[in-house]
């Protein structure tokens, strides 16, 4: 299994989204974090199970929340690039390295 690296801006994306849910309720925020953790675990263990986005990166959709994770498969690791809302501009976060 390759190591999984999370881009610092993707981690910031997750914190900003979680803050929105925390304003609604702590329980909802906790559920968001659990779903992010579960998605990251599946990305780490089975990256090939995720379809390709038009950007050429693999995409993992969250089940309950309207967000997805884009990640790159590299030779030495897999790298989460962005966590974004389904209706966000499709170019958001794609320039991240």
> Which residues span the domain enclosing 30?
4-85
Q: How many residues does the chain have?
A: 97
Angle at 86 between CA 17 and CA 77, to 5 degrees: 75
Residue that is written with structure tokens 């979680």 in the block: 18
In a domain, 33, yes or no: yes
Local structure of residue 48 (DSSP, 8 states): G
CATH number at residue 57: 3.30.2310.20
Question: 3-state DSSP call for residue 40?
Answer: helix
- In tens, the pLDDT along 12-33 reads 999 999 999 999 999 999 999 9
In a domain, 90, yes or no: no
Q: What is the pLDDT of residue 1?
A: 82
In a domain, 30, yes or no: yes
What CA–CA distance (Å, rounded) separates 39 from 68? 9
In a domain, 93, yes or no: no
- In tens, the pLDDT along 35-91 reads 999 999 999 999 999 999 999 999 999 999 999 999 999 989 999 999 999 999 888
Q: State the helix-helix crossing angle for 26-45 and 8-24, rounded to 10 degrees.
A: 150
Q: What is the pLDDT of residue 62?
A: 97
Q: Quote the pTM value.
A: 0.92
Q: How many domains, in total, are found in the chain?
A: 1
In a domain, 94, yes or no: no
In a domain, 59, yes or no: yes
């Amino acid at each position: 299994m390759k190591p999984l690296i999370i881009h610092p801006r993707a981690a910031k994306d997750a914190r900003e989204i979680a803050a929105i849910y925390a304003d609604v309720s702590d329980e909802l925020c906790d559920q968001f974090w659990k779903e992010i953790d579960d998605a990251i675990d599946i990305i780490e263990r089975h990256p090939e199970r995720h379809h390709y986005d038009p950007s050429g990166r693999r995409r993992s959709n969250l089940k309950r929340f309207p967000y997805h994770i884009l990640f790159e498969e590299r030779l030495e690791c897999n790298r989460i690039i962005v966590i974004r809302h389904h209706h966000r501009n499709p170019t958001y976060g794609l320039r991240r390295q």
